[in-house]
Amino acid sequence: MTVRIYLTAVRFDPAPPEPADLPAERVFIHASEVPEIWVETETATVPERGKAVAFALVRPMSIGFNRVLGTVERVAAKRGRAVEPIV
C-alpha cells in the first residue's frame, strides 16, 4: 500500500542516504498559494504526526538532492487515485 506523508519544515539534502532513512518512491512539491510537500512510500513503518523523519530517494536521480528531511504533518493512504487520511 502506498502511503502519502505530508511534511513541514522540509529540507532537501544532497548527502548520500543513511541506513535509517525510509525509502521515498515519489516526492511532490505543490507550489500553490499554500505550498505543500509530500513523499509517497511503500514502507509499512510510518512515523507519527509531529515526528522528524528522513527519506532517501530509492534511485539516484541527479536532481540536486538524495534525501528529504522534515516533520510529519499528516499521513494518508493512497488507493488508486483516492487519498484517505489515516487516523
Q: What is the DSSP string of 23-73?
A: EESEEEEE-SSS-EEEEEE--S--PPTT-EEEEEESS---SS-SEEEEEEE
Q: What is the pLDDT of residue 82?
A: 57
Region 55-76 average pLDDT: 95
State the average pLDDT for the chain.
90
Give the model's pLDDT for residue 58: 94
pLDDT class of 81 with cuts at 50, 70, 90:
low
Q: Per-residue pLDDT averaged across 33-62, rounded? A: 92
What's the grid cell of residue 86?
489515516
* Percentage of residues in the chain having pLDDT higher than 90: 72
Give the 3-state secondary structure of residue 84: strand
pLDDT reading at 66 higher than 80: yes
* pLDDT value, residue 80: 63
pLDDT of res. 45:
86
